[in-house]
Amino acid sequence: MSAAITIERILALQARYTRCIDNNALEEWPDLFADECLYVVTTAENHRNGYPSGIIYADTKNMLVDRVTALRQANVYEKQSYRHILGLPNVTKNDDAGAESETPFLVVRIMHDGQTSIFATGVYLDTYRNAGSDLKFGRRIAVCDSSRIDTLLALPL
């Protein structure tokens, strides 16, 4: 029996992730990660050089929950919204030991006054884990192409 994860399940998880954030259903976001997880937002330059991320680093699920709480208190979502457009996942590994993929992303930011601009582009480096019948992220590293990213808000990408 193959343990390979179907592309259909990978697409579904990717789509649910962006929906959480863009629909302002942030409270559902941590649950898309496995219990043991890593979530990092970094830049291509830092990633290439092996430097630690200067943007977001969370290696427990609780840290993800805390981040949501902080964003709610800051009322970040009152002032702007985001729209993620994902490219096709490139599944780079998929066998008994697990699946890995690279998925390009483009995030557009829409300010309260309607102004729309490209907020970030980059690639998600993901690993997947089966958690019962659900598929979850074991690791998601969002590598931003530009180093000029607005780190003040540190919303999840």
Residue 132 in 3-state DSSP?
coil
Cβ of residue 47: shortest distance to a second copy, in angstroms?
A: 11
Residue 138 · residue 40 · CB < 8 Å? no
The tally of CA atoms less than 13 A away on the side-chain side of residue 21 is: 20
Cβ of residue 59: shortest distance to a second copy, in angstroms?
A: 25
User: x/- string (CB under 8 A) for a second copy, residues 35-74?
Assistant: ---------x------------------------------
- Measured CA to CA, the distance from residue 93 to residue 90 in angstroms comes to 9
138 lies in the site for a second copy, by CB under 8 A: no
Residue 137 · residue 14 · CB < 8 Å? no
Residues of the shown chain interacting with a second copy in the complex, contacts defined by CB under 8 A: 7-8, 11-12, 14-16, 18-19, 22-23, 44, 81, 83-91, 102, 104-106, 108, 110, 113-118, 120-123, 145-149
